[in-house]
Structure 1
Amino acid sequence: MIAREPVNYGSWSNYYRRDDKMSDQIEKNQPISVFISYSHKDESFREELGTHLSILCRQGLISEWNDRKIIPGKKWEEEINAYIEKADLILLLISPDFIASEYCYGIELKKALDRHENNVSKVVPVLIRPVDWQDEPISRIQALPKDATPVSTWSDRDEAWIDVAKGIRTAVSEINKTKYRSIQKHGLLSVSGRLKEDFKQLVKLYKDKSECGGLGTGFKLFDKCTDGIHPSDFVVIAARPMMGKTDFLVNVAAHIGIDLNVPVAFFSMKLPIEQITKKLICLKANINSHYFNKGRFEDSDWPRLTCAAGALHASRIYIDDSPTISIEELRTNVIKLQQDTGLGLIVIDSLHHLSNVQTETDLNKISVFTRSIKALARELKVPILASAQVARGVELKTDKRPTLNDLDIWHSLVEDADVVSLLYYDQIYNNYTERQNIAELILGKNRHGPTGTVEFNYDNAFNLFSEISNNDNEA
């Protein structure tokens, strides 16, 4: 066991704990509008699904629509378009005939995916008959029934549809909670009412003697400049490869998840979970990671290793090392974690590895994507700390310290993020630099305070960032 000083989170506890009043509000919501897209050759499957959804309809949780409900005399294409446009949940009954249908696949699927990617509607594929769909865009979305086993192959079709209905009930619950968050405390608000809340928080911060208004990163000068990481903040650490981006994120996650015992969701598309946990152990045990990987320890290292392992075991850090994950899948995972345990910080390493934009070069699509990251932080009221790449063009400059302009096609980050910091490690370009083991964190944009440079001692063998003491004199 590791003895810890009690930590007072101040006003932060209000942000990462689950709101228990949410369930009461959800019950008052209007039914979720469900659109069913299917091939008419799969009519019997659609009817069976409708039967199993009748309970949700009777409970007032959903209102289900399909093209068989078009009133005679109405233009069927206009009706279908209208119902897709207002659908909260779109169910796609996937089969060989659905994939072969020009209308289902070419029109309805495209509209559904557009709405799903823009977080307007939620799409759930329901696999009803076996089909080779693994390379299709829709295959990246979690499907029903469980393990994407086609309904037609189950020995008991009712069991399959019950599994589908349970999954739809879960999706409906998530949509309701999202709607609740979307309407909560938005629109035209009274300034006097807002001032009352602000002063409550101010008094609490004063009583707690907090060093910053947000969540501390463990780096005092960085926190002094940014006032910590605030709920709904989108904070970016950008750099060229090998500058220490991942290690910097690990240092922050370790402080918040271990030292402060605040829940952290860490998405690592670049490194597997075992490498992230090794970094955390070496960081907390002050062990050279190169020796750790080879099992070369001194007897004196074991107590520190044991303590570090115990601290990590007791921590509230959750790691997802999926090599490809979309922003929609990430959102689903963090919402579930927030509901189950609470959530204080989301870490993404890195933005460029999210499947939505891995090979994207379209400026407008990247801009929509960066806005969606900020929107997620606001929706959950949880800060997002993410790494990003700096364009290789910076390496052609005499002074290779990156600037905001070096974000290139990702310049929309400057507009959407609250803090954009650029990490520079001169040793990568100059082996004989006078600035050995010194990393510079250049605050290029800072909504909460000044811009400038914070210097760190960076020991990549120990995965350790530590602020240089004379920073205090420069602040």
Structure 2
Amino acid sequence: MAKNLSTEQQQRLQQRWKTLHAEWELRSEKLKCLRADRAIEVGTAIKFQLEKQIQYEEAKLDDIDQQLNDIEAELRLPSHTKIIPDSISQVKVHQICEVLSSSEAIEVFLYYSQQDEKLRNDLVEKCLHNMEIQGDINIWDKSKIRPGKTINIEINKKLNSAHIILLLISPTFLGDYHRSEVKEAMERCHAEGTNIIPILLIPVASWKSIRLGNFQLGNFQYLPKNGKFITDSRFWKNKNEAFAKMAEEFTEAVQQIAAESH
């Protein structure tokens, strides 16, 4: 059990966390640009240099990740105080305004059941990939957690910095959610006003009335907006048609979030 920290110690740790997190965001953006340059570079020498820079930035991100984890572990008090209490929502609001007003990528947290992984891959490839390539969004989900990292700490960290949370709704999602490490953090994000968008993946009976902790699915603007599940063949010619509609509507949602921030 962690020892009690004085208010001054907590404030210093929280300030250190914010500084490190800002550096992590900058280096993460730089790494994305380096990888994009590597993908289009044909010259062997330049490609080699890009590889070296990528390796360096990846190592720096790993180091910052570890420092953030250490601080978060130290702030986890015996009374189960939330990691970096209260300051997170203020930091998040600042980040949202900063990101949306400077045309930087919007952080998208993707939550889904492991059993729906194939559909998750289809969704990313056909609906979100182009926006990520263009630098409009960054997509993160728990599959990107590196070995050795603490799952709930990594998820909390990404949820705290997310601007949009996508929930891939299916029968297995609903079962997994109530047993998952993300449940409490998701409810906190809802209370703080994070944009939560249910994605209608596989049909679920009476899904609008389903409650996930302290919020109800039907209260959010879901996608597709027509309320038809992507895999329901009664309403779509094929899944590609559904994904195309989904991509169009998600782009509009991102633009609307950006417009509302100004």
With normalisation by structure 1, the TM-score equals 0.31
2:159 to 78, 84, 96: 84
Report the Cα offset of residue 58 of structure 1: 1.1
Please, which runs of 5 or more residues in structure 2 have no aligned partner? 1-98, 211-215
The letter for the 2-side match of 1:152 is T
User: Is 1:28 matched up with 2:102?
Assistant: yes
Contact 1:146-1:163 within 8 A present in 2 as well = no
Tell me, what secondary structure is at the counterpart of 1:151? coil
Match of 1:155 in 2: 237
Q: Distance in 2 between matches of 1:102 and 1:116?
A: 15
Please, which runs of 5 or more residues in structure 1 have no aligned partner? 1-24, 182-475
Q: Distance in 2 between matches of 1:26 and 1:75?
A: 30
CA 1:114–1:75: 2 relative to 1, 3 Å = closer
Judging by fraction of residues, say which structure has more strand.
1
Report the Cα offset of residue 177 of structure 1: 2.4
Q: Distance in 2 between matches of 1:100 and 1:169?
A: 29
Q: Distance in 2 between matches of 1:117 and 1:163?
A: 29
Q: Distance in 2 between matches of 1:124 and 1:27?
A: 21
Match of 1:165 in 2: 247
- Corresponding residue pairs, total: 154
How big is each residue's C-alpha offset from its partner over 1:250-291, in whole Å with a ceiling of 9 and x where there is no partner?
xxxxxxxxxxxxxxxxxxxxxxxxxxxxxxxxxxxxxxxxxx
Q: Distance in 2 between matches of 1:29 and 1:152?
A: 33
Rg: which structure is higher? 1
The letter for the 2-side match of 1:165 is A
1:437-452 maps to which residues of 2 (within 5 A)?
A: none
Judging by fraction of residues, say which structure has more helix.
2
User: Is 1:68 matched up with 2:68?
Assistant: no
Report the Cα offset of residue 155 of structure 1: 3.1
Computed over aligned residues only, the root mean square deviation of the Cα atoms, in angstroms, reads 2.1
CA 1:86–1:26: 2 relative to 1, 3 Å = closer
Contact 1:37-1:93 within 8 A present in 2 as well = yes
Report the Cα offset of residue 63 of structure 1: 0.4
Q: Distance in 1 between matches of 2:103 and 2:159?
A: 20
CA 1:109–1:163: 2 relative to 1, 3 Å = farther
The letter for the 2-side match of 1:142 is Q
How big is each residue's C-alpha offset from its partner over 1:25-58, in whole Å with a ceiling of 9 and x where there is no partner?
9673210000001000100111011102111001
Contact 2:159-2:189 within 8 A present in 1 as well = no
CA 1:50–1:78: 2 relative to 1, 3 Å = same
Q: What is the percentage of aligned positions where both structures have the same residue? A: 31
CA 1:167–1:118: 2 relative to 1, 3 Å = same
Tell me, what secondary structure is at the counterpart of 1:144? coil
Tell me, what secondary structure is at the counterpart of 2:173? helix
Q: Distance in 1 between matches of 2:225 and 2:260?
A: 24
Contact 2:202-2:231 within 8 A present in 1 as well = yes
Q: Distance in 2 between matches of 1:156 and 1:80?
A: 33
Contact 1:89-1:124 within 8 A present in 2 as well = yes
